[in-house]
Amino acid sequence: MEQIGNIIQRKKIEPTDAPKTAQTASRNIATALLEFHKTNPSAFEDKRNPHFKNQYASLESVINTVRTASQFGLTFTQEMDFEGDITFVRTVMMHSSGDTRVSRTKIVSKDPNDPQKQGSAISYAKRYGLQSIYGLSSPSDDDDGEIANKDGKPPTDPILEAIKNAQSIKELNQIYKSNQPFTDKNLRTIKAKRGELEQ
């Protein structure tokens, strides 16, 4: 009879027992995103902001654009997420392999008790979150941002604001980990802030 130790030893080298690594999971999404970006995706600017006199892509337009990524095995869900008193839109990119990538966008409204302003802020966060995780161009200053900000000022990027207000390297690292994927502008800002804090 074959010894148990030999059976266990042989079992260990079976390739089917090898766990899927995080690197493999990340590669699946990266490959699909690369193919999606080769199509030069861009959300159609189907709305006009009368206050800033500019065109912008609505949430519906952004959703229609990112749904074309389904041909490469990508889809998404968006739901509310909470951390203490802070509310986020949690965007989950999903690949047909089962791999996922998560990004959170803070909901910013000067009057969260006003349903219209809060609803507009949520729509803005959804649109921004989708454009960010799929690597589409950043949204223009739009009416959702205007309504969400009572004084009518252009909406600010909550991630950029968090970076600028960070008081330590540890806080910067937490911002970086919690808001992937980062835009090029956010990366440049966080590098500059890190240099400032290290002085």
The pLDDT score that the predictor gives to residue 112 is 83
pTM value surpassing 0.85: no
Q: Which residue has the tokens 């990538």?
A: 101
Q: What is the DSSP letter of 25?
A: H
Q: Which three-class secondary structure state does DSSP give residue 199?
A: coil
Q: Say how far apart CA 29 and CA 71 lie, in whole Å.
A: 13
CA 154 to centroid of chain Cα atoms: 21
77: tokens are 């869900």
The pLDDT score that the predictor gives to residue 81 is 92
Question: 52, 104, 97: which is closest to 82 by C-alpha?
Answer: 104
pLDDT tens digits, one per residue of 142-155? 444 554 554 545 55
CA distance readout (Å), 99 to 26, 128, 183: 7, 22, 21
The pLDDT score that the predictor gives to residue 36 is 94
Q: Which three-class secondary structure state does DSSP give residue 91?
A: strand
Q: What is the DSSP letter of 81?
A: E
Q: What is the DSSP string of 150-186?
A: TT-PPPP-HHHHHHHH--SHHHHHHHHHHTPSPPHHH
pLDDT tens digits, one per residue of 16-45? 333 444 445 578 999 999 999 999 898 888
CB 93 within 8 A of CB 65: no
CA distance readout (Å), 130 to 52, 116, 139: 23, 21, 10
The pLDDT score that the predictor gives to residue 183 is 74
The pLDDT score that the predictor gives to residue 106 is 93
Q: Say how far apart CA 197 and CA 199 lie, in whole Å.
A: 6
Q: Say how far apart CA 93 and CA 96 lie, in whole Å.
A: 10
The pLDDT score that the predictor gives to residue 167 is 79
Q: What is the DSSP letter of 99?
A: -
As averages over each run of 10 residues, the pLDDT of the chain (199 residues) reads 45 40 68 93 80 78 95 96 92 94 91 88 93 77 48 61 79 78 75 78
